[in-house]
Structure 1
Amino acid sequence: MQTATVLGMLLAALISALLVWWQYYFRAGARRNPTHVLALLRFLSVFGLFLLLLNPKISKTTVTTSKQNLVLLFDDSESIQNAGAADRVRQILTDLTGASSLSDRFHINSYGFGRELNALDSLGFQGEVSDLSGALTALKTVYGRENAVAVLVTDGNQTLGRAYEYLGPELNFPLFSLVVGDTTRYADLKISRVNLNKYVFLENSFPVEIFLTYQGRDSISSRLDVRLDGRNVFRRNVNLSAENNSMKISTSLLASEVGLKSLLLTLDSIPGEKNTANNRWRTTIEVIDEKTRVGIVSDMAHPDIGALIKAIENNEQRRVDLVNSRATAGELSEFDMLILYQPGRSFSGVYDFILQSGLNTFTIAGPRTDFTFLNRMQKGLQVSNFNQTEEILPVINPAFGLFDISDFSVEEFPPLLGTLGEILITKPNESILDQQVRGVNLQEPMLSIMSDEETRHAFLFGENIWKWRLQSFRNDQGFENFDRLMDKIVLYLTSDGKRKRLAVSYEQAYNAASDRKIKATFYDATFVFDPEAELKISIRGTDHEYTARQNMVLADNQYETDLSDLPPGEYSFSVTVEGQDIRSDGRFRIEDFNLEQLFVSSDPNRLGMLSEGSGGSLYYPDQLSALIDELSEDPRFSPVQKSTENVVSLIDFKILLGWIVMALAAEWFIRKYNGLI
């Protein structure tokens, strides 16, 4: 309590006593027995009023010590086990968590990473891939607003994610790297990358690009063999040296049979080579004998058209041609679907052909669209155009269920340029994206699909979708996010128009870096998603003895099955609905290819760049005690003392008011009882 508050209370008590003395003793003259009681009651009431005016407070200061977070991040992938460093890493974990100098100074939190970042219970080194960049990004999010320092224990080899060596300046905490494994550089020849298309057309030649890398001092010779379904289709001698340590080999192979084909590339090992697992590369291609033709009808040049062509033709099963609105019925009949870009009155002949042929369409409307004409020609659609141009942001509709859009994201997507107006779709429809203008969700469709028993039509209200494709590249360093959505829309519009109640989504081939899942969506008789259905999947190995039957698990409005425990090989599967005669079949392959086996030596150079960029340092296992000493003594990581001052009122106003009222009331009754004025 402050001195001024104490003096004020003493002064209030003195003034209250003087007022009581003047009234009950100086003026009263004769002292009756009730005088002392009345004086006391008057003193209490007056002193209470003074206390209300003073409102005295007391303060209490609490000093606490805040420790920083010490984050221990361990590589839990198979490359640690393959390098023979598993026991050493477990011992490092024990030494770091058991060091009293660290536990006294830090809050210690341990994590492990392979494909994802997880709280660490124990180290099993079973991860088939390692995403170091993803783990660091996750830690940056978790400890973004807290004081922290991190210790990374890894061999520096990454099989998934961004180039982590450049992430140091982006981290909000210093990172100390402890490199484990064999840092010796052995002679090594490997297949570093293979580029080829996922789909190939029958009787067509398809290109294959093979990138070879050599690490060593001497000149070497080897041989590259390429086998398609066990048949040797290409061979090339390879000569590399320390100066000429990489090679790109390009060739074209012929697709002669329809189906899923296995492509195996092998390199002969060189003298002294320790790791031969990276001399093999297995992948798959699918040979198909049909191609979907998509026509884009437009009378204007716009970047959107180029973006649509790139996105659709990213799937080799599709070909896109650009025509104008004066195209003849014969020209239009060559297409399996049409994309109508900002139609106007000149599109009359095109709409006449669509009405006669029943062709499915994808209409993109924008500021230059003639909505009066569109309302008249497009059955089931009415747009009230307010002739006001506006920037419109997309909002995903989570209830969309015609096909799976769970892997599509509109994060940081720029707005499209459109026109405000009420949109009425009178036929059955579902919206993929809704409109948002200036932070307000208009409850109007932005990207919608309308369907009936005969035709299907998609509508996008806005131009400049080329910006969406560009933003997809900025977000993910690739166009897959945008291209996958266009691929699914085209696939839906080019199908037979009969909605399947059971839709199954899967990959033809899975490897260690793939999300090994089969996903299914099931609808009831009214084509509403049925979350109560019981879906079962039967899996059978086609080249080995394996059978399994299990229930598919409901997750995020779809059913799925995890395939991560399946051994390598080829499989067939059937998805059935319990109690109904509905079934879907398919085939897939699990590749016998472990990315973690590609590495023999650790990579201290990249780890050093990462640590130095973040303000940390690089250490080796025999320098563990030096690392502990630095963490224990570095003044940057000292605990911080914080003082908290809690100021509270000394009195409770309710009690004090009650005290004053009771004193005054008692004084009044006593005076009345004794006949005092």
Structure 2
Amino acid sequence: MSYQTLLYIILAGIAALLLALFQYKYKTKSASNKTALFVILRTITLFSVFLLLINPEFEQLTITTEKPTLVVAVDNSSSIKHLNQDDKVNQFLIALKENTAINDRFTVDLYSFGSLLQSLDTLGFSENQTNISSAFSSLHQIYKNTVSPTLLITDGNQTFGNDYEFSAKKYNQKIYPIILGDTTLYVDIKLQQLNVNKYVFLKNKFPVEAIAVYSGNSNFSTTFQVTQGNAVVFSKIVSFSKTKTSEVISFNLPANKVGVHAYKATLVPINTEKNKVNNVRDFAVEVIDQKTNVALVSALLHPDLGALKKSIETNEQRSVTLFKPNELLGKLDDFQLVIVYQPDNSFSQLFAEMKDVNKNKFVITGTKTDWTFLNAQSENYRQDITSQTEDYQAHLNTSYSAFIVEDLNFVSLPPLVSSFGAPEFSVPLETLLYKTVGNFKTDEPLLATFEVGSKRESILFGENIWRWRAQNYRNTESFNEFDNFFGKIIQYLSSNKRKNRLELDYDSFYQGATNVVIKAHYFNKNYEFDKTETLSLSIENKDNTLVKAVPFLLNNNVYEADLNDLPAGEYSFTVRTKSENISKEGQFKILEYSVEQQFYNANASKLEYIAKNSNGQSYYIDNYSEMFNNLSENEAFKPLQKSNKSTVPLIDWKYLLALITLSLSIEWFLRKYKGLI
């Protein structure tokens, strides 16, 4: 409070007193000694009103005590139950909640994790995957500006994701692993890895590579064999010793029949082995009789070319060959699709030949595109010719009906560069992606497809799609989403099959009951996506005739049926619509495999390393009482006392208004009582 404000308050007090004396002493002739009470009450009222007019400000100091947060992240994967540690984890959590010293010292936040981190509700130890790295990344976002020691209750065995050793370094909190499981090393052989292509071609031999690993000190030999049904299709004797702890087994198998073929690779177990589950690995291949050949034609060098080739060839069913415009002449019959990248006059002969053979094509334009040439060549679209360029971002058309497409979070992807102006189409088209300029969403197509007779064509108005693929990897730590999106465009353009009102998206086989999802797209008679339809799926197991009905749930612009609870086996299914009774059938196979059962020991060495590297300490689950004592006595985790100084104006003080009301009320009642009113 300033000296000037203090002076005003003093003057206000004097003025209030003088006014009260004037009213009750000078103006009132019959004043008595009892009028002193009225003077006091009137002085209080006037002084309070003057204070409100002056409205002085006061500094208010608020002191709070903030306890550090103890983060508890519990591994909820099925490996915990496989190692018989589930009861110990539940006992630990009960002891943690009942420990007075810990709860007085910390605010305890409980989480569970499998493939993703989530708040702890109940533990079922049923997650099929463990991603400790993802758990650390999520916790880092939540607690990056706090002091939050972290208890990591796990066996340390991660089944997918980045190495959590590096994620733990970025976490920047003290980590206290609670190690679950036996650390005793037993004699064990296992199939560490099995590499095989998902697709193979008819009448070819496909390579298989198996990596067998041994832990133990004795010398011994065993048999590695691959069976298909009851027939042994490959067998080999493998030997191990204390110095030879692994062997890579490479061989080829024939592909004689089209379809999905399942195999079982087995390392004959040792009698003393405790974990025999990891000796067996099921795998499958799909034999196809045709490969989709794509020609990628460009007269210039650009990073987009490499990104397109990589993305398309992620699917082993497709092959991409790069050509200059004149190199492809006379070879079009060898390809199902031609991708034309930024065409100019050098493409004139190629365009003429593609028109003669009615070849499907995908045109990608950009800043080097010769629109004078392209406008003359195309009968289906044209664009005004300008020297200006524009950056266009994308937003998804959720009503696109040619095939099932999912949002890649296009708003987060970098803009593509293209010539300025809106294209004009002379044929009906389906826009897959619209242009976004700044924050303004337009109805101009950025990526569109159309059909003219039996020919399919697509056009993308923008270069630098390689940045989309790179950004998608940054967003998801994987190229899969972008590659799947682009693969569906290639699949649509390389086929001339008639479009169906009910489209399905699923795999022929799944490696274990993880991410078994069937997706569907349903369109009305005008081929507009219909969000109001009810879709159902009936599924039958070919081995035990299990019949099950599963409803589809609408997820954005895709119907999805989650089948992750199905056991391994062969299944046939039917998807049916309710209103028009349109149906479509399919079949798939789930292979017997549980990655969580491949471990019999805790990965204690890595957990101890991340504890040491973060200045924490590792404990075994049986020694949690010691951990509780050490944490509650650790001087690094003292409660913090925080002070908050704020400036509060007097007009916000409600008690002053109450004082004015009270003094006026008392004065009025006293005057009424004495007959002065």
TM-score range, shorter chain: 0.7 to 0.9
Within 2, Cα distance between the matches of 1:41 and 1:148? Answer: 57
Within 1, Cα distance between the matches of 2:304 and 2:28? Answer: 104
330-339 or 470-479, which deviates more: 470-479
Within 2, Cα distance between the matches of 1:411 and 1:166? Answer: 29
Q: 2:322 corresponds to which residue?
A: 322
Deviation at 1:387, TM superposition (A): 1.7
- Contact 1:229-1:261 at 8 Å conserved across structures: no
1:392-411 alignment, distance < 5 Å: 392-406=392-406, 408-410=408-410
Within 2, Cα distance between the matches of 1:207 and 1:481? Answer: 27
Q: 2:238 corresponds to which residue?
A: 238
Within 2, Cα distance between the matches of 1:294 and 1:57? Answer: 76
**What code does the residue aligned with 2:490 have?**
V
1:587-626 alignment, distance < 5 Å: 587-626=587-626
Q: Classify the secondary structure of the residue corresponding to 2:326.
A: coil
Relative to structure 1, is the Cα distance of residues 69 and 643 closer, same or farther in structure 2, using a 3 angstrom cutoff?
A: same
Q: Percent identity?
A: 37
1:338-365 per-position Cα deviation (integer Å, ceiling 9, x unaligned):
1111111232333333334332211011
195-204 or 237-246, which deviates more: 237-246
Within 2, Cα distance between the matches of 1:466 and 1:230? Answer: 48
> Which consecutive unaligned segments of at least 5 residues does structure 1 have?
664-677
Asked if residue 92 in structure 1 is aligned to residue 97 in structure 2, the reply is no
Q: 1:127 corresponds to which residue?
A: 127
Deviation at 1:200, TM superposition (A): 0.7
Q: 2:247 corresponds to which residue?
A: 247
1:301-316 alignment, distance < 5 Å: 301-316=301-316
- Contact 2:136-2:168 at 8 Å conserved across structures: no
**What code does the residue aligned with 1:121 have?**
D
Relative to structure 1, is the Cα distance of residues 184 and 439 closer, same or farther in structure 2, using a 3 angstrom cutoff?
A: same
Q: 2:343 corresponds to which residue?
A: 343
Q: Classify the secondary structure of the residue corresponding to 1:524.
A: coil
Q: Classify the secondary structure of the residue corresponding to 1:322.
A: strand
1:147-201 per-position Cα deviation (integer Å, ceiling 9, x unaligned):
4222111111121222112222211432210001101011211111111111111
Q: 2:164 corresponds to which residue?
A: 164
Q: 1:583 corresponds to which residue?
A: 583
1:45-84 alignment, distance < 5 Å: 51=51, 54-84=54-84
1:577-613 per-position Cα deviation (integer Å, ceiling 9, x unaligned):
2243522111111222111111101111111222233
Q: 2:480 corresponds to which residue?
A: 480
Asked if residue 369 in structure 1 is aligned to residue 366 in structure 2, the reply is no
Asked if residue 546 in structure 1 is aligned to residue 546 in structure 2, the reply is yes
Relative to structure 1, is the Cα distance of residues 23 and 109 closer, same or farther in structure 2, using a 3 angstrom cutoff?
A: closer
Q: Classify the secondary structure of the residue corresponding to 1:104.
A: helix
Deviation at 1:22, TM superposition (A): 10
Normalised by the length of structure 2, the TM-score is 0.87
Q: 2:294 corresponds to which residue?
A: 294
> Which consecutive unaligned segments of at least 5 residues does structure 2 have?
665-677
**What code does the residue aligned with 1:267 have?**
L
Q: 1:104 corresponds to which residue?
A: 104
- Contact 1:221-1:270 at 8 Å conserved across structures: no
- Contact 1:166-1:613 at 8 Å conserved across structures: no
Q: Classify the secondary structure of the residue corresponding to 1:167.
A: helix
Within 1, Cα distance between the matches of 2:364 and 2:17? Answer: 89
- Contact 1:520-1:559 at 8 Å conserved across structures: yes
Relative to structure 1, is the Cα distance of residues 219 and 15 closer, same or farther in structure 2, using a 3 angstrom cutoff?
A: same
Deviation at 1:13, TM superposition (A): 2.4
- Contact 1:170-1:614 at 8 Å conserved across structures: no
1:312-369 per-position Cα deviation (integer Å, ceiling 9, x unaligned):
2232222333333335764223322211111112323333333343322110111111
Q: 2:650 corresponds to which residue?
A: 650
Q: What is the aligned-residue RMSD (CA, Å)? A: 3.5
Deviation at 1:76, TM superposition (A): 1.8
Q: Classify the secondary structure of the residue corresponding to 2:384.
A: strand
**What code does the residue aligned with 1:315 have?**
N
1:375-432 per-position Cα deviation (integer Å, ceiling 9, x unaligned):
2322332222432244544444444443233273558644444332223334333433
Normalised by the length of structure 1, the TM-score is 0.87
Q: 2:194 corresponds to which residue?
A: 194
Within 2, Cα distance between the matches of 1:40 and 1:192? Answer: 93
Q: 2:670 corresponds to which residue?
A: none
Q: 1:632 corresponds to which residue?
A: 632
Relative to structure 1, is the Cα distance of residues 327 and 157 closer, same or farther in structure 2, using a 3 angstrom cutoff?
A: closer
Q: 2:672 corresponds to which residue?
A: none
Q: Classify the secondary structure of the residue corresponding to 2:491.
A: helix
**What code does the residue aligned with 1:100 have?**
T
- Contact 2:513-2:567 at 8 Å conserved across structures: no
- Contact 2:395-2:410 at 8 Å conserved across structures: yes
- Contact 1:78-1:126 at 8 Å conserved across structures: yes
- Contact 1:397-1:434 at 8 Å conserved across structures: yes
Aligned residue-pair number? 656
1:80-128 per-position Cα deviation (integer Å, ceiling 9, x unaligned):
1221222212111111121111111222222222233333233322222
Relative to structure 1, is the Cα distance of residues 51 and 111 closer, same or farther in structure 2, using a 3 angstrom cutoff?
A: closer
Within 2, Cα distance between the matches of 1:627 and 1:399? Answer: 56
Q: Classify the secondary structure of the residue corresponding to 1:421.
A: coil
Q: 1:518 corresponds to which residue?
A: 518
1:31-50 alignment, distance < 5 Å: none
Within 2, Cα distance between the matches of 1:40 and 1:73? Answer: 66
1:214-257 per-position Cα deviation (integer Å, ceiling 9, x unaligned):
22222332221122344322222212223322222222221011
- Contact 1:366-1:419 at 8 Å conserved across structures: yes
